[in-house]
Structure formats: C-alpha cells, structure tokens
Amino acid sequence: MDNKKKDFLGGANPFLTLGLQLAVTVIAFFFLGKFLDEYFSTSPWLLIVFVLIGVVGSLIQFVKTVQRLNK
C-alpha cells in the first residue's frame, strides 16, 4: 500500500467510527430505558427520556469529536 492510501485511511479512520458511536449510544440508552420502564412499570416514559438523553448526548459528543478532529 502506498503512502497516499495510508494517509487517507489513517486520517479517515476517526470519522468512520462516528456513526457507529452515535448508533451504539442511542441503542444502549433505548434498552436501558426499556429495562427501567419494565422494572418500575412506568412505560413508556423512561424509555422516551433515556432515548432523548442518548440522542442529545451522542450529538454533543459527535460535534466535539468533529471539531477536535478538524483542528
């Protein structure tokens, strides 16, 4: 592999994982909210709250990571 491909792939690698990080965070908070709803019998309120927390938190982390990588 020549240096151009290594430079491209090495520079793109952090960006390639951002989508996975977003999805895993939201899915994890979804299942946590679903579990807590079943445990406390509060369906669907904790599910909604935890999904919103997951989405907002992952978007904040996404923006911070992109800003850090673009410096």
pLDDT confidence band for 10 (50 / 70 / 90): low
- Specify the pTM: 0.80
For residue 46, the model assigns a pLDDT of 97
d(CA 51, CA 41): 17
Running DSSP on this structure, what letter comes out for residue 19? H
pLDDT at 16 over 90: no
pLDDT in tens, 21-60: 999 999 999 999 999 999 999 999 999 999 999 999 999 9
Q: What is the pLDDT of residue 13?
A: 77
